[in-house]
Structures are given as C-alpha cells and as structure tokens.
Amino acid sequence: MNNSTQIASHLLRSRIGKLCVVIIGASPNEMIEKATEVLKESNFLEFRLDYLAKPLAALPGTQSPLSPDMSSAINTGGSAPNPVVGGAQLATQAAATITSLEKMIGPFPFSALALTQRPGTDSQGWPGMIFLSSYVYLTPAEREAQHVSAADNVLFGEVMMPHEVAHQWFGDRVSWASYHEQWLLEAIANYSALMLVEPRHPVYEQVMLEAYRQLLAAKSKDGLAFVEAGPVTLGIRLSSSKFPAGYEIITYGRGTWLLHMLREMFRDASRTAENPEGSDQVFLGWLRSLYDRYQGKEITNADFERSLEEVLPKPLWFEDRRSLDWFFDGWVNGTAFPRFEIKDARFSTKSGKPLVSATLRQLDAPDDLVTSVPVYGVVGDNKIYLGRVFAEGQETRISLPLPAGVKRLVLDPNQTVLTAP
Ligand SMILES: [Zn+2]
C-alpha cells in the first residue's frame, strides 16, 4: 500500500509487458495453486515462488504504516498468522467488499480477484490480484499482541483490504496520467474504503482521519512539519532527504482529507428543510460517473477538477462562479493546514428575524487561502447546522440567519475541514 516498491511497480506496470513478482503461501502447493489461478487471469505476470513457513518471523522489524518515519517498530518476531483460517475469512469479507463497491462505483472490472499474503505491513494491488499484508489476516487481539497501534489496527482490520480492492476500479482500471495524479487514485481508493467502514463503525473513520492529521503535523528529524513536504500533486517527489516519508504522509493523509472535505461540502450543500442532514447522492453520483468516463483511460488533475465542477452545488460557487479553482489553488496545489476561530459574534434581529454577524479568522494560512467552513449554532446540548461560509484570507466578516434560541456559534464540530491539531 505505501512503500516505494509499490510506487515503482505502479509506474512500471503501464510500461512493461512482463513482470516478475513474488507470491507467498502457507505451503509450496498452496503457492503453486495460487500462481496457476492468477496466471489464468493475468498472463503478463511471471512468478518467482518463495516459500516461507513463518513469513512474519523472517522480518527483523517492520515500521508502522501510519508512522513510517518513526521508530515505533512493530515486533514481527512473534506468532505468524495462520493464512488458511484468516484467508477463508478474508475471502468472505473481500466478496462482500466487491458487492458494496459495485453498488458504489460500478461492475467489478475484472473476471476474478486473487488475494495472497505478503509478509510485512505493506499491500499492493494488481489487476485481478492483491498482495495483502499478513497483518490484515490477524485478529485485532493478535495485532495488539504485536504492539500495533489503535489506528494501525483499524487500518489493517478495516481499511487496507477494501483500499486494495477499490484500486481494482481506481488505479487498475482508471490509471493516472502522471506522477502528479498518484495521490488521486490513492485518495479515492482510501476514501472509498473509509466510506464502506463508516456506516458500520463511524468512529473508525474518525480514528483514521485523526491519525492522518497527527502525521501531517508530526515533525521530521529537521523539525519541519510533514505537511510542509509539499502539495499532493508532487507525487513521489514528496519524499526527500528532508521528508523521507513525505510521499506516504501527504498522499494518503492529506489526499484522504481532501476527498473527505469534498464529500462533506457536497453533503452540506444538499441539506434542505425536508432533509436536514443532507445526502451523499451528488458525491456518489460524481464518483460513479468519474469511473464510467475514465475506465480504461488515464486521468489528470484537471479532469478531476472539471468533473467536480460539472456537478458543483451552488453553495460552493465562490464569488458566484461555477469553479473549484479556490479549492484546487489552496488545498490541492497548496499545503494549507490552517486553524479557524470565530470572534466578535453579534446577535440581532432584522425585520423580526434573528441573525448573527461575526468575524471568521483563518490562522496560519496563506493570505489568499479560501476555505468553505461549516458554522453551527448551539442550543442547549444541540448543535444546529447554520450554513457554510467562505473564509477568505485572514479575516472574513460573515452574517447568517439564526433559528430561535441560538446564543453561541461553533465551527465545524464534526471535523470536516482539515485543520492543524
Ligand atoms: Zn493504494
């Protein structure tokens, strides 16, 4: 999922007819069986079969995928997973994931999918085949015994497999045009996985988003926050001697947040009196049509922006223009990681209707940053959605109509905008 081998392989895949890959199994027979099965589907692959009785034990220590630059090495010397038991369970889960993703995106693009274990923390997807981290095959308790952090436990237990399966659509069937779009396919695959997790375990989505936020804020050895490594569109160039894990942290961390911001903006824009929570209909319709349009093709960041603008809800038209340039300039092609503050709120009544005006401050942000920020009013224990406002630069004066009883405002209580911790 997130190492340099994968990136190299992604790049190689579109250019080389035959590839040599490694396949792992519990026994030599199992491996030959798997290899034969996969060869039926992907005849451009060549196999090198390496048999390891205890794949985890073969590794001296593996770093945590959610903290790749940190020294919290996971102990891999303990018990190796039993791939027969875990494999059967995983096959059932993968089948259910395919069904859900078909509903969300469209028909599964290949005739079969093979999952095979890969020792260590990384996973990697190919058309019709996935190398899945051996940690995915463990139970949560087994992972805890291996000193896997809470966020990594969610990653291995709930996100990694659906992430790799989603790549069958976005990554394997829709390709990136250049390294500038690596982030886009990773973010779509990762966010699709989170959207599948959300209805069952809403808290897990929050755990992942919070882990990504903390990683973006984490400091490199030189004391620089990783968010400074650059915008998502720099792709593999984000990793450097200054930011050794720059690619992973920005692509997966910031990339996932950008998709989350878009989805939440679209949902807020669909709120009506009849449907006060809003819906994901427009966002999911967009995702499906993006796949329809670009399957079998390469996608650019410009295509991505244009496709969103075609369905852009009116509340997201900054300065009355059907454009997402404001979002792409500051958030996609920029490194914004601001904080927000509301002050000087004045409650009044105009023609008998209560309203509030206040100053919205955007801190630690570029002067030209534009952000859509949801504002809520507090009544007792409830937070009522009042609307979204554009924060422009450091200070913006805002004004919103109010339901009765609101005496206090809060910004984005549901964490839908990427902010510094
Ligand atoms: Zn991926």
Report pLDDT for 165: 96
Report pLDDT for 138: 86
How far does residue 152's CA lie from ligand 1's centre (Å)? Answer: 15
Q: Kindly state the tokens that stand for 369.
A: 């940053």
Report pLDDT for 315: 95
88 Cβ contact list (under 8 Å, min separation 6): none
How far does residue 127's CA lie from ligand 1's centre (Å)? Answer: 13
How far does residue 130's CA lie from ligand 1's centre (Å)? Answer: 11
How far does residue 184's CA lie from ligand 1's centre (Å)? Answer: 10
Bridge partners of 342, per DSSP, are: 360
How far does residue 298's CA lie from ligand 1's centre (Å)? Answer: 16
Nearest to 115 by CA among 81, 88, 155: 88
| Integer angstrom CA distances of residue 187 from 58, 128, 252 | 31, 20, 6
Q: Kindly state the tokens that stand for 81.
A: 């997973």
| Integer angstrom CA distances of residue 223 from 220, 239, 250 | 5, 16, 17
Report pLDDT for 281: 97
How far does residue 150's CA lie from ligand 1's centre (Å)? Answer: 20
How far does residue 399's CA lie from ligand 1's centre (Å)? Answer: 42
How far does residue 36's CA lie from ligand 1's centre (Å)? Answer: 25
How far does residue 186's CA lie from ligand 1's centre (Å)? Answer: 5
CA distance 94 to 168: 12
- Assign 240 to helix, strand or coil: coil
314-338 residue pLDDT tens: 999 999 999 999 999 999 999 999 9
Report pLDDT for 142: 85
* pTM of the predicted structure, to 2 decimals: 0.83
How far does residue 310's CA lie from ligand 1's centre (Å)? Answer: 27
How far does residue 132's CA lie from ligand 1's centre (Å)? Answer: 11
Buried b (16+ CB within 10 A) or exposed e, 47-79: beeeebebbbeebeebbbbbbbbeeeebebeee
Report pLDDT for 54: 55
- Residues in the chain predicted with pLDDT less than 50, given as ranges, are 1-20, 55, 58-62, 68-79
How far does residue 60's CA lie from ligand 1's centre (Å)? Answer: 24
